Amino acid sequence: MPGLALKSAVVKNLRSLLIIASLLGCAPEIIVRPAQLQPNDPTSRQMRVTLTVEARSTAGFHSALPVGTVLEPRGQIAEGIVMAPRNAVLTAEGAHIAEAYAVISGSKWVGFWLPVQRAFSPLQAPVAIQMEPY
């Protein structure tokens, strides 16, 4: 019964393709940790990005802060200073897209503050960021 064997092989291959397609179609969730936003340090001030900086969420999606982006301090969390973009939109992407603020520690962009979730999401790797007072 060669026809039956062929039909069985086609069904098996089709099943494998469907499983692969479903796995490829699902973006992973970003890593999120609850974080307590503390008031701004009185010396914190607005900064302007002087060189476009690109980073990746823990789900592997690209985000950027273009040159000229003005960042306004909104508070602090354990990971760094929370800076909201005033003239740009920043999102953290994974299975969902969330409004995000940059979390800056020293001269590195280390992650996202998710204001709706009140949580921190780290970048895949911190990246150097160049800024100047605005």
For the chain, give every domain's residue range. Answer: 33-133
pLDDT of residue 44: 87
pLDDT digits (tens, 9 = 90+) for 98-109: 999 999 999 999
Instruction: Tell me the helix, strand and coil percentages in the chain, rounded to 5.
Output: 15, 45, 40
| CA quadruple 132, 48, 78, 64: dihedral sign | negative
Q: How far apart are CA 83 and CA 71, in angstroms?
A: 5
pLDDT of residue 22: 46
pLDDT digits (tens, 9 = 90+) for 26-64: 778 999 999 999 998 888 899 999 999 999 999 999 999
pTM for the whole structure: 0.80
Q: What is the DSSP string of 47-107?
A: EEESS-EEEEBTTS-EEEE-TT-EEEEEEEETTEEEEEESSS--EEESSSEEE-EEEEETT
CA nearest to 123, candidates 107, 109, 133, 105: 109
Q: How far apart are CA 84 and CA 74, in angstroms?
A: 7
pLDDT of residue 25: 58
